[in-house]
Structure 1
Amino acid sequence: MTTPTAPEPLLGRPERLVALADGVYAIAITLLAIDIKLPDGLDSAEFHRQLHDLLPQVGAYALSFLVLAAFWRDHHRLFLGVRQVDGLVIRLTLFGLGVAALLPFPTSLIAEYGSEPSAVAIYSAAVAVLGSIQFTLLLVVWKRPWLRVAPLPDREAHAYLADLGATVVAFAATAPLSFLIGSRVVWGWLVLLPVKFAIGRWSGRVSRSDV
């Protein structure tokens, strides 16, 4: 059986790329919370009113924290078995980090203008693009076994792709739907909870069957 040849030159080990991703995700998560604060010198009534007004910002922060944390976790899982990277892996990773670093902006939009369909559409599109990049990166690593210590098992790759695909579909569908049914479409994101739970259960059964 012939050994597949790399279509691009190998550019070294992935440690520096993973370290860069760690830094970008850490900064992006920090920026999510930087504007959550109260003015000084408030009386009791104003304090409670301002605190109530902060709830959308806190909710937007919590949502984006979970989104970024999930993508960071998946990025780490993806690179666990990678021993070499090539130009395509680097380009996709940098593109994804650029979108991740931008996420605090659409987060601020849904925090301040959550009732505006455009704000929901921009946020949804940003998450869908980030998920699509990660999905593509996984495909590349799966289909280029020479990048890994050992080839990624097909069943494991299918589980990862299903998980990422569910995120991409849910957020991509929200963007146009927000103009049709308004900002309440964001409640549709909750469908990801049972879907990801089911994918996780299926993935666990697949892993046990391969042992």
Structure 2
Amino acid sequence: MIFFSDAVVAIAITLLALELPVPEGPTVSAFRSAIHDDLDHYLAFLISFAVIAAAWGQHNRIFQYTERTDARLRTLNAVWLLTIVLNPFATKLLTTEGDDTDTLGLRFGFYALLQCLAHAVVIAMERRMTSQKLRDPDVPAELVAAGDPVLYGMLIGFGLSIPVFFLTPYAWVLWIVVPRAVGLLSRNRSRASADT
């Protein structure tokens, strides 16, 4: 299941790159202008590449010490894979023409909702592994929970951005700021509890 999931992630990332526009121009100035005109496509690619890579990293983290699976875990994994293979489509939506607030909110909101679903499914898989004792019993609990702040930070950041996109096109900032803030709070809390 892990090898299959890794292969699906690799294909999704490859499909992202296939959608990139190739700049054209007979002169260096025209070539640069073509790159500038498609900058939103390149930025959307980088964001989605980072999002898929982070999701893959979290997936590998939670499966690292898994000894067996069950039907529900396999179903959850299939739902997670669905969110991954929809990323190239959602990325293409980000760069679709249309500047009115409602269209922008729908396009970016769909992208954020997809990422929320992906992170929520990873959390559900992690809980399933714990409740059904599908992991190696010798794995320390703090190692299992190490990625939780990242998962919850991403879930909150993408989730909060959905309604905000209907107010401002800069709601994507929450995708970066909230996970970092949650991670910082978690590290500070860990240090404080270690000091006591």
Q: TM-score, normalized by length of structure 1?
A: 0.79
Distance 2:98 2:57 in 1: 27
- The one-character-per-residue Cα deviations of 1:167-206 (angstroms, maximum 9, x if unpaired) are 1111011112211x22111112221234335546766999
Superposition deviation, residue 57 in structure 1: 1.0
- The one-character-per-residue Cα deviations of 1:127-177 (angstroms, maximum 9, x if unpaired) are 0111111110011112221x1221654433444333211111110111122
- The one-character-per-residue Cα deviations of 1:21-60 (angstroms, maximum 9, x if unpaired) are 1111001111111121325554444322211012111111
> Structure 1: which 5+ residue stretches go unaligned?
1-16
Distance 1:204 1:93 in 2: 33
| Residue pairs, 1:4-23, within 5 angstroms | 17-23=1-7
Give the aligned length: 190
Distance 1:157 1:205 in 2: 20
Cα distance change, pair 195–90 in 1 and its aligned pair in 2 (3 A): same
- The one-character-per-residue Cα deviations of 1:85-136 (angstroms, maximum 9, x if unpaired) are 1101100001100110011111111133485121110110010111111110
Are 1:132 and 2:120 an aligned pair?
yes
- Per the alignment, residue 109 of structure 2 pairs with 121
Aligned to 1:84, what secondary structure does the other structure show? coil
Distance 2:116 2:138 in 1: 27
Distance 2:93 2:36 in 1: 18
- Per the alignment, residue 75 of structure 1 pairs with 59
| Percent identity over paired residues | 25
Q: 1:31 aligns with which of 12, 15, 19?
A: 15
Aligned letter for 1:156?
A: L
